[in-house]
């Protein structure tokens, strides 16, 4: 199944259930304009609603950039109220990736700057090629991140380092991103997509309901605080006990065989 977009490639591998969404503006280093953000929103809504999609791989076209930032010419034309609305729209789209019950892995194949870094951070896991670069350079333009960068960077690397990166606009190489926790893995460019697909397949072998509940509980900690997170975890734990996958998982363990999960 392939959906049609102007600025994205949307390719579903029916055999594995892995959907690859590729930001496809190579002449602009895959920079995010309003149209592309809108299409990213349409793509994640379609993916979340499609039972054939089990996991999502998000990347950029070419070998230079995942997403090199926002479309600066478009940003320069915005007014204050218009910029606030654009920020809110972008935040809402990125949040749909972050809250997807289906795992989302970013294959960061080059520059992930500004909105690109924010998009990668909205994914559940980030795998970087050796030439990847992460950064939030907005203060160089008299701006600040508008798509969740001031929030997610703190969650991933801690307040002190996040503030340093946000205030200096320094870029982080792949090995440093790995050390900081901004990247989960670093691999050679030629191995990036296969590594990400294998990582997704490892997750997709687990119980889908349990995976989705786990993502939701982790997100609750950051959106609502510790007490709400514990409450959400207890509720989700009870929900998991009512699934057929729980019965299958425990039966498989006791019978010393691989579990076959069906997502219910």
Active-site residue list = 118, 138
30 in Cβ contact with 68 (< 8 Å): yes
- The neighbour count for residue 1, using CB atoms within 10 Å, is 12
* Token pair belonging to 189: 């460019």
Closest C-alpha among 17, 146, 6 to residue 75: 146
> Under a CB-based contact definition with an 8 Å cutoff, are residues 108 and 129 in contact?
yes
Alpha-carbon distance 40 to 96, whole Å? 10
Give the Cα separation of 120 and 144 in Å (integer): 17
Tokens of 21: 């969404």
Which DSSP category does 150 fall into?
Answer: H
DSSP 141: G
């Amino acid at each position: 199944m392939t959906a049609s977009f102007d600025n994205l490639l949307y390719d579903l591998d029916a055999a594995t259930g892995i959907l690859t969404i590729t930001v496809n503006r190579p002449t602009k280093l895959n920079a995010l304009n309003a149209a592309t953000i809108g299409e990213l929103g349409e793509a994640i809504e379609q993916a979340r609603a499609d039972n054939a999609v089990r996991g999502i791989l998000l990347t950029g076209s070419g070998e230079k950039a995942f997403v090199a930032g926002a479309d600066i010419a478009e940003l320069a034309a915005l007014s204050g109220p218009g910029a606030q609305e654009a920020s809110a729209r972008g935040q809402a789209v990125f949040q749909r990736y972050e809250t997807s019950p289906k795992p989302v892995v970013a294959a960061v194949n080059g520059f992930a700057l500004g909105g690109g870094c924010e998009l990668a951070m909205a994914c559940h896991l980030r795998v970087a090629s050796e030439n990847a670069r992460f950064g939030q350079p907005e203060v160089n333009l008299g701006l600040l991140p508008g798509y969740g960068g001031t929030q997610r960077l703190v969650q991933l690397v801690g307040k002190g380092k996040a503030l340093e990166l946000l205030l200096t606009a320094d870029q982080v190489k792949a090995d440093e991103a790995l050390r900081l926790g901004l990247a989960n893995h670093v691999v050679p460019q030629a191995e990036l997509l296969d590594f990400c697909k294998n990582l997704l397949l490892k997750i997709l072998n687990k119980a889908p309901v349990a995976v989705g509940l786990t993502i939701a509980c982790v997100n609750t900690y950051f959106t609502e605080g510790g007490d709400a997170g514990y409450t959400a975890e207890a509720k989700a734990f009870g929900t998991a006990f009512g699934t057929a996958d729980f019965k299958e998982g425990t039966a498989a363990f006791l019978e010393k065989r691989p579990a076959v999960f069906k997502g219910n």
